[in-house]
Chains A and B, each alone.
Chain A
Amino acid sequence: MKKIVYALMATVTGLVLLFSYRTSMAPESTSALAEASSSGVATTPRTTTTAPSPSASASSGSTTSGSTSSGTSSGAQTSSSGLADGTYTGQAANTRYGAVQVQITVSQGVITDVQVPRYPSESGRDQQINSRALPVLVKETVQAQGAQIDMVSGATYTSTGYRTSLQSALDQARA
Chain B
Amino acid sequence: MSGAFTVTAPVMGTMASITVLGAGRDGDVGAAVSACVQRLRDDERVFSTYRDDSDISRLRDEGLELGAIDPRVAEVAERCRDLRERSGGRFDAHWRGWFDPTGYVKGWSTDAAAQAFDELLENGGIEAVGVNVGGDMRLRTAATSPHVWRVGVAHPTHEGELLATVEVVDGAVATSGTAERGAHLIDPRTGVHLAGPVSATVIAGDLTTADAWATVAAIAGIDDLEWLPVAPVASGIVWEHGRTRRFAGGIEVASFHDTVAG
CA distance A26 to B21 in the complex (A): 43
CA distance A171 to B170 in the complex (A): 20
- A140 touching B165, Cβ below 8 Å: no
Q: How far, in Å, is B183 (CB) from chain A's closest CB?
A: 11
A61 an interface residue at 8 Å Cβ cutoff? yes
A83 an interface residue at 8 Å Cβ cutoff? yes
Residue of B nearest to A81 (CB): B262
Residue of A nearest to B230 (CB): A29
Knowing A32-B229, A119-B249, A153-B201, the reply to whether A111 touches B259 (Cβ < 8 A) is yes
- A131 touching B174, Cβ below 8 Å: no
Q: Which residues of the partner chain B approach A63 to less than 8 Å between Cβ atoms? A: 1, 21, 127, 145-148
Residue of B nearest to A118 (CB): B249
Q: Name A157's contact: one of B135, B176, B244 (CB within 8 Å).
A: B135
* A103-124 contact mask (Cβ, 8 Å, vs B): 1 or 0: 0000001111111111100000
A130 an interface residue at 8 Å Cβ cutoff? yes
- A11 touching B260, Cβ below 8 Å: yes
Q: Which residues of the partner chain B approach A24 to less than 8 Å between Cβ atoms? A: 226
Q: Which residues of the partner chain A approach B17 to less than 8 Å between Cβ atoms? A: 151, 167, 170-171
- A153 touching B175, Cβ below 8 Å: yes
CA distance A29 to B156 in the complex (A): 31
For window 1-53 of A, CB contacts with B under 8 Å fall at: 11, 15, 18-22, 24-26, 29-30, 32-33
B136 an interface residue at 8 Å Cβ cutoff? yes
Q: How far, in Å, is A9 (CB) from chain B's closest CB?
A: 13
Q: Which residues of the partner chain A approach B228 to less than 8 Å between Cβ atoms? A: 22
Q: Which residues of the partner chain B approach A144 to less than 8 Å between Cβ atoms? A: 162, 164-165
* B216-260 contact mask (Cβ, 8 Å, vs A): 1 or 0: 000000000110111000111100000010101111111111111
- A136 touching B165, Cβ below 8 Å: yes
What bracket does the count of chain B residues touching chain A fall in? 35 or more
CA distance A80 to B145 in the complex (A): 31
- B14 touching A150, Cβ below 8 Å: no
* B1-37 contact mask (Cβ, 8 Å, vs A): 1 or 0: 1001110101001110101010000000000000000
Q: Which residues of B contact A (CB under 8 A)?
A: 1, 4-6, 8, 10, 13-15, 17, 19, 21, 88, 106, 127, 130, 132, 134-137, 139, 145-154, 156, 159-171, 173-181, 184, 199, 201, 203-205, 225-226, 228-230, 234-237, 244, 246, 248-262
Given contact pairs A100-B249, A147-B162, A149-B162, a sample of 18 additional A-B residue pairs in the complex whose CB atoms are under 8 Å apart = A11-B260, A19-B254, A22-B252, A32-B229, A63-B1, A64-B150, A82-B262, A97-B229, A97-B251, A114-B258, A118-B234, A151-B132, A154-B135, A155-B178, A156-B176, A158-B180, A161-B181, A174-B5
